[in-house]
Structure 1
Amino acid sequence: MLLPLDFSTSLPLACLLLAIPIFTTTYPTYNSSLKWFRLCLGVPTFLVAWRAAFPPALPNWLPPPAGYSQVFTFGFYGMARVLDVCLVGFWESPKDVSRWIARAKKQDDQEDRNMAFVAVPLPTTLVGRLAYTIDNISSSRGSSIFAECSWDWAPRSIREYRLSSRSEYVIDRTKALLRAVIVMDISEHILHGCHWDLMISNPVSSLPVTEQIWTTLALGTFVYAGVDLPYIISGLFWVGLCGSPPSSCPPLFSNKNPYTSHSLAEFWSLNWHTTFRRSFDRVSVPIVWAFQRLLGQHLSKPMLNFLRSFIIFGVSAILHIGIAYGIPFSPHANRRIV
């Protein structure tokens, strides 16, 4: 079953509508009036993105059509970006608008440790504003399509990613591609070697404990390589074939082996991918604010951090549930998957 036409066209329309409020952020002089415009435009933009992620026919899809997971991911991300730009941005001052930062060096110009970053002024020309809008709407991790640039909210691993040449990048990513394919092939072979008894209600936990552990490890490595693979391929395409700067396509994982993290906090904050971290963090801002208003008091910093983390993980959980819903499956013999 293919995606309905109106479902497929919701995403381009949402991107077009979202580009308008992002474009207006390059006019800080008129921020007091434009922020109301962005807030009003955010309502239909959010509804269009919602329609892409949760189409009206969704309850009748079992299994869902091919490609639903991908469209749901972009639609859900679009809703988060609308809240980021139109709602959270409503309370921000013009100086808080996302800006480019350019990579610069000290006068000695010797080593990477002397690397510094300088803020780039907002563009003032039509072409510059269009470039700002396209780069902003297409960046989820903080990297930029322009060489030696990134966004001011990008994590350190994105800002400081640097390879000496395009050929070095292609060689490094080609090695990563081969590793990912080999890991996925071995993991898939292990997973297909498991015999699931679908006639019982708990086919997974019925396996011996050692086989459960082995299967979990294989599944974890398969997911790790499977998530990384599209980024590797897209990086090779844009940098190797289209001539984009290597800094525009940094690796998805700053650490080549995120599972070597010493703690859960290190795993999530440093070594796992940062694809949606910025957007989900911004989504938590109005929810935390509303929660404090309901309580009628300001929460302590530890409580605020806990509430913010809880909201971010909750939003992330909804995203992963939607992605899992769109994965093709064989209905269980004894249960209906809703």
Structure 2
Amino acid sequence: MSNNISIENLVDSTRNSTGIDLRLRDFFPGLNIPIESAPSISAGCNILLLSIYSLTTGNPSWSLFRIAVAPVIFYFIWDFGFGPYVTPANQVAVGMAVVAMYGLMRLLETTFDEFMDDTPSRWVYKGKELPLPTTFFQRLLFSIDLQTSLRGTSWFADTHWNWAPQALLTSPCRNQSRSQFIRNAIFWYAIQYLAIDILDTINKSRTWDTTHPYPITSLSILEQLVFSLSVCSYTILAITYMFSVISAIAVALGSAPANWPPMFDAPFSATSLADFWGRRWHWIFRRVFSR
């Protein structure tokens, strides 16, 4: 699948484009994030890390610091997600916007954490909730781990956050050896790669009117069914295939397999909407949405 992108494609897929392009441009769209946006996301994340670090002091007076730096963090993260950057495909622009929205929600959570929680985030090690760290290095690790934890898992063995869903803590991957986990991740990545290629072929089987506001629902019922399933399936795979790569690398570098439970738990076998959204779908946004 070619990664060559013409000037016309670059122009057509800028942030100002109103069209919807269902075609896959690259298997790793995250690698196509404009380098010009790097300073904004780097500054936003680093200042947010300082804000999170201030939570480890346990001193309420630091809330003034978090409130003071919040507009600065907001500016940088918003600029990354919605700034005037040229992207090679709509999926890259959408991904940047999703990252930015998540970052903004984490900003709100961090800034007003002590006003919402009687018991803020804490490490749980081997079933025991730990107090706030006291040394600089421990506080730094605590802050980095909290900032990068999307679902309540941790980078450290036998550790999770006190808000992690119970289903994550009982995942079958806890019983896998390091080598077994890596082999499984590589195997499933290969399967997902082929599946994405098939779905992309389906999406490219017709010429899309990218100026139409409803490119799928304007089709016949049969075509709607085919392309809706294709797009929905790709939505799942867009999360899981990158997760397979990242988790395999992390475990190979020493992270515990238990820290990398699957993103989804057989979502199509859900018995109810509550089961689907509450247990089987990914929990990436659960923490920030439920605050």
- Identify the residue that residue 294 of structure 1 maps to in structure 2: none
- Identify the residue that residue 129 of structure 2 maps to in structure 1: 119
Choose the corresponding residue for 1:102, options 107, 125, 144. Answer: 125
**1:76: how far off?**
1.9
Counterparts of 1:250 and 1:8, CA distance in 2:
29
**1:124: how far off?**
1.2
- Identify the residue that residue 108 of structure 2 maps to in structure 1: 83
Residue 126 of structure 1 aligns with an amino acid whose one-letter code is F
Residue 138 of structure 2 aligns with an amino acid whose one-letter code is G
- Identify the residue that residue 152 of structure 1 maps to in structure 2: 162
Counterparts of 1:136 and 1:147, CA distance in 2:
15
Choose the corresponding residue for 2:77, options 43, 49, 52. Answer: 49
- Identify the residue that residue 57 of structure 2 maps to in structure 1: 27
- Identify the residue that residue 3 of structure 1 maps to in structure 2: 34
Percent of aligned positions that are identical = 29
Q: TM-score, normalization: structure 1? A: 0.68
**1:174: how far off?**
2.5
Are the equivalent residues in 1 in contact too, given 2:41–2:77 (CA < 8 A)? Answer: yes
- Identify the residue that residue 320 of structure 1 maps to in structure 2: none
- Identify the residue that residue 262 of structure 2 maps to in structure 1: 251
Counterparts of 2:213 and 2:153, CA distance in 1:
46
Choose the corresponding residue for 2:234, options 222, 234, 242. Answer: 222
- 1:74-123 CA distance string (max 9 Å, x none): 22221111100112433444xx12101123xxxxxxxxxxxxx2112221
Q: Sort the Cα spacing of 1:238 and 1:200 in 2 relative to 1 into closer, same or farther, 3 A.
A: closer
Q: Sort the Cα spacing of 1:207 and 1:87 in 2 relative to 1 into closer, same or farther, 3 A.
A: same
- 1:197-229 CA distance string (max 9 Å, x none): 779886544543223212222222222222211
- 1:10-47 CA distance string (max 9 Å, x none): 1111111111121121122xx23122222222232222
CA RMSD, aligned part only?
2.7
- Identify the residue that residue 183 of structure 1 maps to in structure 2: 195
Q: Which runs of 5+ in 2 are unaligned?
A: 1-9, 11-32
Counterparts of 2:55 and 2:93, CA distance in 1:
32
- Identify the residue that residue 46 of structure 2 maps to in structure 1: 16
Q: Sort the Cα spacing of 1:21 and 1:173 in 2 relative to 1 into closer, same or farther, 3 A.
A: same
Counterparts of 2:212 and 2:82, CA distance in 1:
32
Classify the secondary structure of the residue corresponding to 1:213.
helix
**1:9: how far off?**
0.5
Are the equivalent residues in 2 in contact too, given 1:180–1:229 (CA < 8 A)? Answer: yes
Q: TM-score, normalization: structure 2? A: 0.78
Classify the secondary structure of the residue corresponding to 1:221.
helix
Larger radius of gyration: 1
Residue 78 of structure 1 aligns with an amino acid whose one-letter code is G
**1:68: how far off?**
3.2
Choose the corresponding residue for 2:97, options 40, 58, 72. Answer: 72
**1:266: how far off?**
1.7
- Identify the residue that residue 281 of structure 1 maps to in structure 2: 290
Counterparts of 1:155 and 1:270, CA distance in 2:
9
Q: Sort the Cα spacing of 1:276 and 1:205 in 2 relative to 1 into closer, same or farther, 3 A.
A: closer
Are the equivalent residues in 1 in contact too, given 2:81–2:96 (CA < 8 A)? Answer: yes
Choose the corresponding residue for 2:272, options 263, 268, 272. Answer: 263
Are the equivalent residues in 1 in contact too, given 2:87–2:93 (CA < 8 A)? Answer: no
- Identify the residue that residue 205 of structure 2 maps to in structure 1: 193
Counterparts of 2:117 and 2:210, CA distance in 1:
54
Counterparts of 1:211 and 1:270, CA distance in 2:
31
Q: Which runs of 5+ in 1 are unaligned?
A: 104-116, 283-338
Q: Sort the Cα spacing of 1:73 and 1:206 in 2 relative to 1 into closer, same or farther, 3 A.
A: closer
Q: Sort the Cα spacing of 1:213 and 1:92 in 2 relative to 1 into closer, same or farther, 3 A.
A: closer
**1:191: how far off?**
2.8
